[in-house]
Amino acid sequence: MLIWLAEHASFVYFAIVIAAVAFGMQYWLYRRLKHLALFVGLLGLLVATWLLFELVPTDRRQIADNLQTMGQAVMDGNAKTLFRFVSKDFVYSQHTGQELYGRIDRTLKQHKVRFLKIWDIDARPEGDRAKVDFYFRVDGDGEAQFLARGKSDFVREQNVWKMKIIAVFPVAGDREMQLPLSP
């Protein structure tokens, strides 16, 4: 229940703000200290709730953080860090993670990524599995740019969310694209 509340915090904030405004208006109209105390108490509850929700690591936040860490690893050219968040059962274009590790490592060393931005991460966890959709942009050496949409499956392995499958699509289209990897 707490996780659901943390993922839908705006409902909780809205309810607390409405109650605080109501007691603030009551104090303004009638000047009763109990209304002021309730108003201040609700503002304190709002701050405490915000802090609690910021500290609760929801599955969606963990997946988004891991995806951003993977993006940073690509920018740093660090395949080892990238593969910390790749499942042992990882598959991309009918290749396993073990088959791809060397190719990805060579590609990252060969083609320097200057900038990588991942946004609109939509993670939908269900138990120990999650479907994740996101957009990303990669700027390479020179003027090279790559803008695409990713669809992936994540699994929880040893309490860490890891990518199991990824498919890359153009931003406007449903035909899967192949990433250019070194042989």
Beta carbons within 8 Å of 70's beta carbon, 6+ residues apart: 81, 82, 85, 86, 163
Other CB atoms closer than 10 Å to residue 152's CB: what's the count?
20
Mean residue pLDDT of the chain comes to 91
Structure confidence at residue 107 (pLDDT): 87
Residue type, 47: V
Assess contact for 120 and 126: CB atoms under 8 A.
no
Other CB atoms closer than 10 Å to residue 159's CB: what's the count?
7
> For 159-175, how does the pLDDT look when each residue is reduced to its tens digit (9 = 90+)?
999 999 999 999 988 89
Structure confidence at residue 2 (pLDDT): 66
pTM comes to 0.78
Q: Taking 90 as the threshold, does the pLDDT of residue 180 lie above it?
A: no
Give Cα 134 to chain centroid, integer Å: 9
**66-97 core/surface letters (b: 16 or more CB in 10 A; e: else):** bbbebbebbbebebeebbebbbeebbbeeeeb
Rounded Cα distance between 51 and 20, Å, is: 18
CATH number of 59-169: 3.10.450.50
> For 78-118, how does the pLDDT look when each residue is reduced to its tens digit (9 = 90+)?
999 999 999 999 988 888 888 889 889 888 888 888 999 99
